[in-house]
């Protein structure tokens, strides 16, 4: 018998909707409209009710996101290099809380150049997620575009490398986003996870975001560091390098607040891969 493993964020969403008075039938219709199967809807709605019943006892409700298995490279043997897909990747820096790993030589120079060339014709002003749709914001002044998952041979190869390195299913990843930051462009500090109190629809496409990989395609002459202001960490772009960080729940306590400092001179190009806790649809 096949058992579907549904993302914990889906149960969180169902529970929150039930607390606001939404009916089971309305929630089922919403799930079906978003592409979930009848079986998945029944499992999510039925198990959510069971969880809610347990929460009515003397114990507080458990934060389900904490139990999610996270993407992560295998660094148990303290390796200085990891070879994936023939690419010899150097481990430069690690941090436990927040979980951050910095890699050198994640991409070759040729891969960086080809990815930028493929993305350039499709660049548009970057947006941020609003309550109903994506909107322009002074907090994010880059240009960007998304590749569909496995859209090209190059994109597919990079996605498989990410999946292997981070021990995470390829289908649990969003499409790669390429961003260009010219002089003065920045992205103010933000979290990559979706606040379930305000963003319901994104959670239905694969559950919560649980990790981010930023790949540097082109380094500016000045500025453009990836900053983690809560821990006073700045990671300066180096062509071909990458920074990985994960967040076990959608909460500021993960210390995953980060941003892109303004580019002072030159251009910064990055490619970002967000990983979900379930299959991204």
pLDDT at 26 over 80: yes
The predicted pLDDT at position 136 comes to 66
Give the integer Cα–Cα distance in Å for 188 and 173: 24
Choose between 4 and 1: higher pLDDT.
Answer: 4
pLDDT at 225 over 50: yes
pLDDT, one tens digit per residue, over 66-98 is 345 799 999 999 999 999 989 999 999 999 999
What mean pLDDT value characterizes the chain?
85
* Helix, strand or coil, per DSSP, at residue 5: coil
pLDDT at 49 over 60: no
pLDDT band at 10 (very low <50, low <70, confident <90, very high): confident
The predicted pLDDT at position 59 comes to 37
Choose between 37 and 128: higher pLDDT.
Answer: 37
Q: pTM of this prediction?
A: 0.75
Give me the residue label for tokens 């070879």: 83
Choose between 99 and 46: higher pLDDT.
Answer: 99
Residue 253's closest CA among 172, 193, 213? 193
* Helices and strands, number each (H, E), in the chain: 5, 17
pLDDT at 232 over 80: yes
pLDDT, one tens digit per residue, over 135-171 is 666 777 788 999 999 999 999 999 999 999 999 999 9
| Cβ(182)–Cβ(226) below 8 Å | no
The predicted pLDDT at position 46 comes to 72
The residues near 125 (Cβ < 8 Å, ≥ 6 apart) are 136, 143
pLDDT at 64 over 80: no
Choose between 41 and 161: higher pLDDT.
Answer: 161
């Amino acid at each position: 018998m096949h058992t579907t493993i549904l993302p914990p964020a889906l149960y969180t969403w169902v529970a929150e909707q039930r607390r606001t008075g939404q009916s089971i039938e309305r929630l089922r219709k919403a799930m079906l409209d978003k592409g979930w199967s009848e079986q998945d809807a029944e499992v999510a709605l039925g198990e959510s009710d069971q969880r809610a019943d347990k929460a009515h006892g003397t114990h507080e409700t458990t934060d389900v996101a904490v139990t999610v298995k996270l993407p992560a490279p295998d660094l148990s043997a303290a390796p200085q290099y990891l070879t994936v897909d023939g690419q010899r990747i150097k481990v430069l820096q690690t941090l436990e809380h927040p979980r951050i790993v910095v890699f050198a030589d994640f991409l070759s120079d040729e891969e960086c150049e080809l990815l930028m060339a493929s993305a350039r014709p499709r660049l548009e002003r970057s947006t941020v997620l609003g309550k109903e749709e994506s909107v322009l914001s002074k907090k994010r002044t880059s240009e960007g575009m998304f590749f569909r998952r496995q859209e090209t041979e190059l994109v597919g190869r990079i996605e498989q490398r990410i999946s292997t390195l981070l021990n995470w299913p390829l289908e649990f990843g969003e499409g790669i986003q390429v961003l260009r930051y010219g002089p003065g462009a920045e992205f103010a500090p933000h979290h990559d996870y979706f606040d379930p109190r305000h963003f319901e629809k994104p959670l239905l496409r694969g559950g919560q975001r649980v990790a981010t990989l930023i790949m540097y395609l082109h380094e500016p002459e000045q500025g453009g560091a990836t900053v983690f202001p809560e821990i006073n960490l700045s990671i300066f772009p180096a062509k071909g390098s990458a920074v990985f960080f994960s967040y076990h729940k959608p909460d500021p306590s993960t210390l995953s607040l980060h941003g892109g400092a303004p580019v002072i001179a030159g251009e910064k190009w990055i490619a970002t891969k967000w990983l979900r806790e379930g299959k991204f649809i």
